[in-house]
A and B are shown apart, each in its own frame.
Chain A
Amino acid sequence: MYRYDEFDHQFVRDRTNQFRDQAGRRLSGELTEDEFRPLRLMNGLYLQLHAYMLRVAIPYGTLSSKQMRQLAFIADKWDKGYGHFTTRQNIQYNWIKLEDTADILDALADVEMHAIQTSGNCIRNVTTDHWAGAAADEIADPRPVGELLRQWSSLHPEFSFLPRKFKIAVTGAPNDRAAVKVHDIGLRLHKNAEGAIGWEVIVGGGLGRTPMIGVTVRDFLPELELVGYLEAIMRVYNLYGRRDNKYKARIKILVHELGADKFKAEVESEYAKRPQASTEVEERELKRIAAYFAAPQLEKLPRWSASFEEAKLGNPAFSRWARNNLGAHRADGYAIVNISLKPDGGIPGDATSDQMRLMAELAERYSLDELRVSHAQNVVLPHVKKDDVFAIWQALEAAGLGAANYGLAGDIIACPGLDYCALATARAIPIAQAISRKFSDSAKQDEIGKLKINISGCINACGHHHVGHIGILGLDKKGEEYYQITLGGSSAENASIGSILGPGFAGHEVADAIETILDTYLKLRGPGEEFLAAYRRVGAKPFKEALYATA
């Protein structure tokens, strides 16, 4: 894992002191709320429906046990004993007081964390594959580039007042778990025939009101040119991105309005003008960072773990959890453990401070002190010996963290919605809870198989409904919440935007509608055919007929 050096420490401390001063000026009345607003937003502090919300960055989703324990400590001391893991691999605290915020930032700085640029029209927390460094299919660990970009984008003086927020995702694996095609910039690693690596640069993807799949502007950019090339993209966006309408201000609109070719020509022309000829510093910095992410010393183990297999035979509940919640590790005898934060009827992404401490404990004991937060709002133990998996499962079960639904119908992404968010037009959490209860029968979930249900409580799409295999969008019609259903979205390497199925549903009808859709799927699917594949084969018609025929 990356560790701060003296410079990183100083940087974050300076920033915290700066914020303490700003918050003090606001509390004393020297600054008006209008003047303070942009300053607090640059530090992740939002004013929500009921209280301030603080969003803490978890760069590229990686945490140590010590950091996770500190997050639990913050939840206990300054919030209500829980936190909410977000689709940006961050954590949010929903009940924060302004006067406590600087102390919280200090507590974060103590464990090499911060809330810089978790909001505002700037470059947000860089996200990556939550299986980075562990996945069997990976070309290289994307986190060194993630850290390089974290540093480069932190308080970038040129790019702190962009037309709109800006999100970058990086993946080092061909199976895209980081949704790079629906980010403002997505970076995807490739290896060529000579064995050299280069980055595909994808620009202008995004969700929100106008969902779009990004376009590739470079197929194979040398790694050392990343910073320079991204600066050129950012400059073109900063200068020419629309500022007249915030709903048309994301880079996807600029790419769309200019056309991909013209946009690319602008970027290349800007890139060609850069005075910087040498990339020696980038090279050294990347090498320095990469050393922190050196592949961990794993034991040489046989592929087959007798104790793991025996435990599965003796315990069907464990066997089911292991089938659903483990990922393929690149090393024999190891597994990636995915802890679902989606208990039946629970709030997606929420964890109590006790649960955070338990996960920290398990990581320390069994996973080389590392945890990951996934953009699907789950927590990952990346390096676990198969021999230890049963003990981990027992501990998780006892703490209410044993949901065996990773990647299934119950593993729902949902934004906070109208329960917390000032922008929301409808609630998202109760819908997630109702669906989750509807499918609490584990046999049925298993039968349905891999499925992504994503729920957003407004058109801004924080719940990524456009790229859910089943997407649910909560809207307001004359004071009533109603929900639009889309099918066929995907954020993976074969990304697609879902299509609206038909008229919307009232909140209490949504879970039944989802059940109808899935029953229809079960009837028409081919052998081993997952929901998304089946939908792509047959289209919307059978689902429409089933849903609306009787209505």
Chain B
Amino acid sequence: MPLLKNNTLIAETWAHADAEGELPTGDVVVPFARLLKNWEQLSQRRDKLGVSLVNIDRAEALSTFLPKLQLIVLSFPAFNDGRAYSLARQLRQMGYRGELRATGNVLPDQLQFMLQVGFDTFEIGERFPLSTWQQASKQMSLAYQRGLFRRGSEAEIWTERHTDAEPWLEQPHAG
């Protein structure tokens, strides 16, 4: 599965573990249920650890694990199932700074929304060429909402209009 980050294709370095069975070696991402079940074992590994959530998992259930996690995978079972947008924002607002990956029915025309709520890697499938994704990532140069993740050329309108006002306390990094 091609993986998109910062408008380029990158190599997958994570091994994906199932709910049961042998843990792969190296950096591994596990389902949330397994994280809970095998936490002791997982937290003692030297390799990087990630978790994949389903959309009925609650972000706050991850809070104690967040410092140990370097990848969180959120899924879009269908492009119009928007729960992961809220989960992403919650996780970023909880202070998570690691990789946040979108998987499932990820489409170019939703890419910018996903970037804005804090996703930074995308499992994109083969349907569209890279150029379409690159184009899609910058369709809108402006957003009204504050506290979004922004790429270089994007601006938040309310913040721009009132630049001398106090900054948003959790102004996130720029992608």
Residues of chain B within 8 A of A276, CB atoms compared: 146-147, 168-170
Q: How far is the CA of A238 from the CA of B93 in the complex (A)?
A: 17
In this complex, what residue of B is CB-closest to A282? B158
A288 B161 Cβ-Cβ under 8 A = yes
Residues of A within 8 A of B83 (CB): 238-239, 243
| Interface residue A194 (Cβ < 8 Å from any Cβ of B) | no
State whether B161 touches A156 (Cβ < 8 A): no
Q: B81 at the A/B interface (Cβ < 8 Å)?
A: yes
**Which stretch from A157-165, A195-203, A372-380, A479-487 is at the chain B interface?**
A157-165
**Residue of B79, B81, B145 touching A152 (CB-CB under 8 A):** B145
Query: Which residue of A5, A7, A158 is within 8 Å of B86 (Cβ)?
Result: A158
Is A235's CB within 8 Å of the partner chain B?
yes
Cα-based distance from A39 to B110 in the complex (angstroms): 10
A155 to B117, CA, bound (A): 12
Instruction: Flag whether B23 is at the interface (Cβ < 8 A).
Output: no
CB distance from A258 to the nearest CB of B (A): 15
**Cross-chain contact A158 with B117 (CB below 8 angstroms):** yes
**B12 interface residue per 8 A CB criterion:** no
Q: How far is the CB of A268 from chain B (nearest CB, A)?
A: 15
Q: In the bound complex, do residue A238 and residue B86 qualify as a contact, i.e. CB atoms below 8 Å apart?
A: yes
Whether A284 lies near B143 (C-beta < 8 A) is: no
- CB of A277 within 8 Å of the partner chain: yes
For residue B165, CB closer than 8 A to chain A, the reply is yes
How long is the Cα–Cα vector from A11 to B156 in the complex, in angstroms? 11
- In the complex, chain A residues whose CB is within 8 Å of the CB of B90: 235, 273
| Contact stretch, chosen from B30-38, B39-47, B134-142 | B134-142
**Chain A residues in 8 Å Cβ range of B22:** none
Judge if A394 is at the interface, Cβ distance under 8 Å: no
Q: How many angstroms from the CA of A156 to the CA of B148 in the assembled complex?
A: 10
When distances are taken between beta carbons in the complex, the residues of chain B under 8 Å from A155 are 113, 140, 143-144
Question: Is the CB of B162 closer than 8 A to any CB of chain A?
Answer: yes
Query: Would you give the 0/1 interface string for B159-172, flagging 1 where the beta carbon is closer than 8 Å to chain A?
Result: 11110011011100
The answer to whether A14 has its CB under 8 Å from any CB of chain B is yes
Contact indicator B161/A7 (Cβ below 8 Å) = yes
Per-residue interface assignment for chain A, residues 14 to 53, with 1 indicating a CB less than 8 Å from any chain B CB and 0 otherwise:
1101100110000000000001001100000000000000
Instruction: Give A381 to B93 CA distance when docked, in angstroms.
Output: 46
Chain A residues whose C-beta falls within 8 Å of the C-beta of B141 in the assembled complex: 10, 14
B116 touches A157 (CB 8 A): yes
- With contacts A157-B114, A235-B90 known, what are 12 further pairs, Cβ within 8 A? A14-B142, A121-B80, A155-B143, A155-B144, A157-B85, A158-B113, A160-B82, A274-B93, A281-B165, A281-B168, A282-B158, A288-B161
Q: Which 7 pairs, one residue from A and one from B, show the smallest C-beta to C-beta distance? A: A161-B82, A157-B113, A157-B116, A275-B170, A7-B157, A151-B144, A18-B139
Chain B positions near chain A (C-beta within 8 angstroms): 79-83, 85-87, 89-90, 93, 107, 109-110, 112-114, 116-117, 135, 139-148, 155, 157-162, 165-166, 168-170
List 19 A-B residue pairs with CB atoms under 8 Å apart, sorted by A's residue number.
Answer: A15-B140, A35-B107, A38-B80, A151-B144, A151-B158, A156-B144, A157-B112, A157-B113, A157-B143, A158-B113, A235-B89, A243-B83, A275-B93, A275-B170, A276-B146, A276-B168, A278-B166, A280-B162, A280-B166
